[in-house]
């Protein structure tokens, strides 16, 4: 089904690629991609894009020889522009991008699917799910802002997406490949490259299977009202005031870890109610419910 094939940590730099370099990258990237596909095949080109080290080197050879986060945006943008005229010949399509462009990925996939024959609706769901896994199931301090989806006419794909951590001024790039493991939510990684940054929430770890099952069971058996009641009970036992549940303004605590008293009850109830209304049957469907994920 899907496999996350690696990640990379990059320094967060400001600035823009000059127009002459962007144009050069589009032309050179298209020629290089065409040569790789003709000599080694389209599947091999997808595998290479899914490798964070190869992707970084590819961008440098295209002309983006900075080692910053901008290489991801520049390479995907150049490929999207350069390969568009060759989409029919190569059977390869680049969707998504940065910011608002990332949110257009599902509709792009459905449109291309209608034109070339793959299941665009299913791939649109895949796009949303991959983004949710890296933002909600894996909470490592990096907020996604870029999502690129490279798909072939036969439905095989690669996702390259990037998150930002403003506190440490770094970006982290995630690569996914539609080969390998059969689950989006359990051990989807084949490799992770980056500096260790302490304890994170990783619900895709095999050891988190009980947690994933427990969250689904809690929603199905206890329901939104029961969960919020239990939260209120825990707050009462801790001796902390429950003002956060009733006040309309935001209260930010001094500590970094999430405690019962930090949760806004109305927001939690709304997210749980939306999830219960959809009736997810597995953890992947639960992740796709709007509002499910890290608190901002």
> pLDDT truncated to tens, each residue of the chain (296 aa)?
455 556 556 666 666 778 899 999 999 999 999 999 999 999 999 999 999 889 989 999 998 766 667 889 999 999 999 999 999 999 999 999 999 999 999 999 999 999 999 999 999 999 999 999 999 998 888 899 999 999 999 999 999 999 888 888 888 888 999 987 678 998 776 555 556 677 788 898 889 999 999 999 988 898 888 888 877 777 666 555 444 444 444 455 566 666 666 666 677 778 888 888 888 889 999 999 988 877 65
Nearest to 173, CA basis, from 149, 137, 152, 142: 142
Reference 136, options 295, 288, 293; nearest CA is 293
pLDDT tens per residue across span 188-247:
765 555 566 777 888 988 899 999 999 999 888 988 888 888 777 776 665 554 444 444
Contact 97, 76 (CB under 8 A): yes
Beta bridge partners of 201: 139
- Cα angle value 288/292/293 (rounded, 5°): 110
Non-local CB neighbours of 234 within 8 Å, separated by 6+ positions? 260
For 139-153, what is each residue's pLDDT tens digit?
A: 888 899 999 999 999
State residue 263's pLDDT score.
Answer: 66
* Domain assignments of the chain as residue spans, ordered by start: 3-204, 208-287
The whole-angstrom separation of Cα 210 and Cα 203 is 10
pTM metric for this prediction: 0.82
Structure-token match 């796009």, residue found: 127
- pLDDT at residue 251 in the model: 52
Q: How many Cβ atoms from other residues are within 10 Å of residue 182's Cβ?
A: 9
């Amino acid at each position: 089904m899907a496999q996350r094939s690696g990640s990379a940590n990059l320094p967060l730099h400001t600035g823009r690629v000059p127009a002459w370099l962007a144009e050069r990258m589009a032309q050179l990237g298209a020629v290089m991609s065409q040569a790789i596909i003709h000599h080694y095949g389209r599947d091999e080109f997808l595998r290479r894009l899914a490798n964070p080290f190869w992707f970084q080197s590819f961008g440098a050879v295209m002309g983006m020889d900075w080692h910053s986060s901008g290489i991801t945006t520049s390479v995907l943008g150049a490929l999207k522009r350069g390969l568009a005229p060759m989409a029919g010949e190569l059977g390869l399509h680049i969707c998504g991008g940065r910011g608002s462009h990332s949110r257009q990925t599902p509709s792009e996939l459905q449109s291309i699917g209608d034109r070339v024959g793959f299941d665009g609706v299913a791939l649109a769901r895949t796009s949303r799910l991959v983004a949710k896994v890296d933002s909600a199931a894996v909470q490592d301090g990096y907020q996604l802002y870029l999502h690129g989806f490279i798909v072939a006419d036969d439905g095989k794909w690669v996702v390259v997406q990037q998150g930002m951590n403003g506190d440490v001024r770094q970006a982290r790039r995630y690569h996914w490949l539609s080969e390998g493991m059969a689950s989006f939510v359990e051990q989807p990684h084949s490799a992770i490259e980056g500096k260790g940054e302490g304890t994170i929430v990783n619900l895709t770890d095999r050891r988190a299977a009980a947690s994933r099952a427990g969250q689904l069971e809690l929603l199905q058996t206890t329901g939104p009202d029961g969960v919020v009641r239990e939260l209120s009970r825990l707050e009462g036992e801790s001796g902390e005031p429950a003002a956060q549940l009733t006040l309309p303004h935001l209260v930010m605590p001094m500590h970094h870890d999430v405690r019962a008293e930090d949760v806004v009850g109305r927001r939690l109830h709304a997210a749980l109610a939306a999830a219960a209304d959809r009736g997810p049957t597995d953890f992947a469907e639960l992740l796709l419910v709007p509002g499910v994920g890290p608190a901002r």
